[in-house]
Amino acid sequence: MTNARQLAFIALRDVHKGAYVDVALDRVLQKVNLADSDRRLVTELVYGSVRRQRTLDTLIDQLAQKKSHQQPKDLRTILHLGLYQLRYQERIPASAAVNTTVQLAKENGFSGLTGFVNGLLRQYLRKAEGQGSRGAEEQRSRGAEGKDSLLLPQSPAPHFDPLQLPENPVQRLGILHSFPDWIIQVWLEQLGLVETEQLCEWMNQSPTIDLRINPLRTSIEEVETALQSAGVLVRRVRHLPQALRLIGNAGPIQKLPGFQEGWWTVQDSSAQLVSHLLDPQPGEVVIDVCAAPGGKTTHIAELMQDKGKIWACDRTSSRLRKLQENSQRLNLKSIQICTGDSRNFTQFHNTADRVLLDAPCSGLGTMHRHADARWRQTPESVRELSMLQKELVSHTSTFVKPGGVLVYATCTLHPAENEQAIAAFLAESPNWQIESPKSLNFLDFGHITPEGWFKLWPHREDMDGFFMVRLRKTNNSE
C-alpha cells in the first residue's frame, strides 16, 4: 500500500525545488491508485504545509538549535509535515503524527536523525500541553485513565501556544497566519487589524467549489435534484441565479451528474459576478481580451443566449484549447478564438459593444486556492503587473464602440492593480466614465464604493476576493 505521507513528502520536495503546488500534487497522484480518503490526506498535507510554511519554519527556528533555512532541505520538509499535523490536524492523533514523521525521516535518508525529529515534535507537544483542543483532549484522556491527574486544570487552562510571536502587528499576523509581511501591510492599510486577521483566517481555509448552471441546457432545480440524488449536498448562493456551492467532499468533478451533458461548469461565485456586471445582450459583439481558460467567456455566451459574436483572445494557445473544450461540452456556438497578445491587436478598433478585461494579476484574492501564490508574488511582481494592466486597459478600451461598455476585473486585492490602475486610465481618458452597477439589482452587496467600483472581500462574502468596475465610453468618442 502506498503511504499518503510519503507521497506528500515527494510532492512537497518538488514544490521546494520550484514546482507549482497543483502540478506537483497531480504528478504524484496520477502515478498511484489511492482511496479517496488517502487522496484527501495527501492533498491536505501538501496544500497545508505550503500555506503554513512561514509558521512551520518559525516553529523550527524556535524549537531547534539550527534555524529552518540551515536544515537539510528534505529534513525541513519532513519537519513541516510533522508539525503541520500536530498543529493543524486535530483528527490525526499526536502519536500517529510523531511516529509517521519519524518513519519518514528513516525512509528518506535521515535514519541518523530520527532522535532529533522525535525530540523536536515531542518538545512541541510538551509546550502545547493544556493549550487548545488537542492539549485539553490529551489531558482529559489521561485523567480518565487515572494517570497524571494532577495535570487536569482546576480552572480553564492558560492560553499557551508553543509559537512565540513578536509584538509588531505586521510580523505577528504574518508569522501566526503564515503570510509575507508585505501582504499583511497591504491588507492592514485597507482593513485595519481585526478584519485583516479575519481575512488571513479565511485565506487559510480549504477552498469551496461552486458550479455555474448552464441555463441553455438545464435549470438550477434540475441540477440540484440530480446532485442530491447522487448524494452530493449543494446550496444556492444569494444574488447569483446560476450558482450552486458543493458542501463537503463531492469526489471527482467529472463524474458528477450533468458534467458530460454540459449542464454546468466549475466557476467561483465572485467570478460569476463579473459577467453579470458586463451584462451582455443577445446579438452583441463582445471581446474577452484575456479569455483563457474560458470560465467568463462561456458565461458571457450563456447570458447572450448564445446569440451574437464573442471574440475570445489570449496569447496562450494551450489555455485556449481548454476554452474550446469547455465551450464544446457546454454546446456553445458563438465563441470565436483569437490567439495573440491583445495589446498588439488593431483589427478590433471601435467594433465591440462590450469588452471584458479580466486582467492578469497577482491573485491575492484567491490565495486559498493557490497555496504557493503568497510566496511567489512580491512587491516587484505587483509593480510589473500593474504596468501591464495599465497598458491592457489603455489599448483594449479602443476596441469599444462609442456608447459601449468595458468591465475591468482582477482577482487581487492590491490597490496598485485595481483602484490605482483605473484612476490612472480615467485621468488620461476623458471620454470614459465609471458607471455604477447599482442599477443591476442582484449586485446588491452593499460594497460598491462611492467611486463606483466593486471590491469583494472574501471574509465578508465567503467567496474569492475580486475587484471589478464597469466603464462606459461616451458617444462623442473618436
- Rounded distance between C-alpha atoms, residue 163 and residue 132, angstroms: 13
Which conformational region is residue 464 in: left (phi greater than 0), alpha (psi within -120 to 50 degrees), or beta? beta
For the beta sheet containing 264-266, the strands, ordered from the edge strand earlier in sequence to the opposite edge, are: 233-236, 243-247, 209-213, 264-266
- What residues are paired with 467 via a beta bridge? 410, 455
Which conformational region is residue 210 in: left (phi greater than 0), alpha (psi within -120 to 50 degrees), or beta? beta
Determine the angle formed by the axes of helices 53-63 and 36-51, rounding to 10 degrees: 70
- Rounded distance between C-alpha atoms, residue 218 and residue 233, angstroms: 19
Host H or E run for residue 298: helix 295-303
Helices marked H in 306-449: 317-329, 373-376, 379-396, 419-427
Q: How far is CA 407 from CA 281, 289, 394, in A?
A: 14, 11, 13
DSSP secondary structure string, 226-253? HHHHTT-EEEE-TT-TTEEEEES----G
Query: How many CA atoms lie less than 13 Å away from 447 in the CB half-sphere?
Result: 17
Residues designated as active site: 411
What are the backbone dihedrals phi and psi of residue 184, each rounded to the nearest 5 degrees, phi first?
A: -55, -45
- What residues are paired with 469 via a beta bridge? 408
- Cell reading at 412: 487581487
Strands 285-288 and 309-314: parallel
- Rounded distance between C-alpha atoms, residue 478 and residue 473, angstroms: 10
Report DSSP state, residue 448. Answer: B
- Specify the 3-state DSSP secondary structure of 358: strand
Contacts of 40 (CB under 8 A, 6+ apart): 249
Task: Quickly tell me which residue has 486597459 as its cell.
Answer: 393
Contacts of 389 (CB under 8 A, 6+ apart): 359, 360, 361, 410, 417, 421
Host H or E run for residue 409: strand 400-410
Q: How far is CA 312 from CA 179, 296, 335, 464, in A?
A: 35, 10, 7, 23
